Amino acid sequence: MTQTPVLSVRNLVVEIPTRHGVLRPVDHVSYDIHAGEILGVVGESGAGKSMAGNAVIGLLDRPARIASGEILLSGQPIHALKGDTIRRLRGKKMGMIFQDPLTSLNPLLTVGDQLTETILEHLRVGQTEARKRAIAALEEVGIPAAAQRISSYPHEFSGGMRQRVVIALALCAEPDLVIADEPTTALDVSVQAQIVALLKRLCRDRGVAVMLVTHDMGVIAEAADRVAVMYAGRLAELGPVREVLTNARHPYTAGLMASTPLASQGRKRLRQIPGSMPRLGALPSGCAFHPRCEFAQEQCRNEPGPTLDRCDGRAACWFPLTTDQKVSA
């Protein structure tokens, strides 16, 4: 595919200077997302997946900052943009969906006001046209009686409906890229399914590129086309979702998949990965995963950071798993 990817992250490094040293919540991460594609970014808490999303959209909280690397939006570098320029870009070309629908919406403005505000800001239309588009956006995300509900306040909607409004808000300015940070985590199972289906349909129909950040592997399996697995700020594995989830090459991914209850059906004990993910201030030498890896060798301890491009391009591991190697009990 020679089409320029909508989002291209190249060797992104985000640093947070603290009094105990410099932390790297994102350490040389690279991935591309093409139009109409959903990239799942999965990892446990503290792995850096949200931080990477925040860096892309330019919402890093001080003192976190982009230390090096590039972020290209449709070929244009955006990582060095500041202030007004990035703000305009943010609403127009990038939409964001946060985890908590209650705090993502301004409780003092009606849903209609928030939608029209965004539309007027980024599209060249008049008031009436903006209102029409707002109603259309609400209908598209499945809010019944959109023409009446447009004057309602966020607290008058249920959790699932609110998240739909947030999706409408993210898409109303017709962005090229949408970053969804744990969009279904705070929702019930049945509502989750609805939101995931909605997200998939809208993004495919409009050709929007989506970065779906979550810790829920099931959502990734259903929604994503490709998946990036993050560990301790680094990219552990990147590839098509079916491939990565069923034939993981990185021992961490394999361990993660094996430890889910679904994978241990019929067994009394779940498989578990010993230990826990190291804190960013106390990373081990060499490969960040080696202390917990049953396949670790000398090189893993000594040689600094395996990355995707220095290994086989799919897993950041000196000894990626072959199909007959399985993670043991």
Partner 1 sequence: MSALISVRDLTRVFDVSKPWLNRVIERRPKALLTAVSEVSFDVPENSVYALVGESGSGKSTIGKIMVGLVPPSNGSVKIEGVDLATETDQSKIEAVRDDIQMIFQDPFASLNPRWRVRDIIEEPVSAKGRRTSGLAEKLLEQVGLSAADAGKYPHEFSGGQRQRICIARALASEPRIIVCDEPTSALDVSVQSQVLNLMSDLREELGLTYLFISHDLTVVQHMADVIGVLYLGRLVEEAPRDRLFNEPKHPYTQMLFDAAPRMDAFGREIDPPKGEIPDAINPPPGCAFHPRCPLATDRCRTENPEMRNIGTTRVACHHAQ
Interface contacts to partner 1, rule CB under 8 A: 44-45, 158-161, 188-194, 196-197, 200, 215-219, 221-222, 225, 241-242, 245-246, 255-257, 259-265, 268-273, 276-277
Q: Which is nearer to partner 1, 4 or 152 (CB)?
A: 152
Q: How far is the CB of 111 from partner 1 (least distance, A)?
A: 17
Q: Which is nearer to partner 1, 12 or 220 (CB)?
A: 220
Q: How far is the CB of 22 from partner 1 (least distance, A)?
A: 22
Q: Are strands 177-181 and 209-214 parallel, antiparallel or unpaired?
A: parallel
Q: Which is nearer to partner 1, 2 or 276 (CB)?
A: 276
Q: Which is nearer to partner 1, 9 or 232 (CB)?
A: 232
Q: What string of H, E and C letters represents the secondary structure of 78-107? A: CCCCCHHHHHHHHHHHEEEECCCHHHHCCC
Residue 319: CA atoms inside 13 Å, Cβ hemisphere, count? 15
Q: How far is the CB of 125 from partner 1 (least distance, A)?
A: 32
Q: How far is the CB of 19 from partner 1 (least distance, A)?
A: 17
Which residues does 161 contact at the CB level (< 8 Å), separation at least 6? 143
| Helix, strand, coil percentages for the chain (3-state, nearest 5) | 40, 20, 40
Q: Which is nearer to partner 1, 266 or 304 (CB)?
A: 266
Determine phi and psi for 116, rounding to 5 degrees. -65, -35
Q: How far is the CB of 127 from partner 1 (least distance, A)?
A: 32
Q: How far is the CB of 293 from partner 1 (least distance, A)?
A: 13
Q: Which is nearer to partner 1, 104 or 192 (CB)?
A: 192
Q: What are the start-end ranges of the H helices in the chain?
A: 49-57, 83-93, 101-104, 111-122, 127-140, 146-149, 159-171, 189-206, 217-223, 241-246, 251-259, 298-302
Residue 181 to residue 99: CA distance in whole angstroms: 6
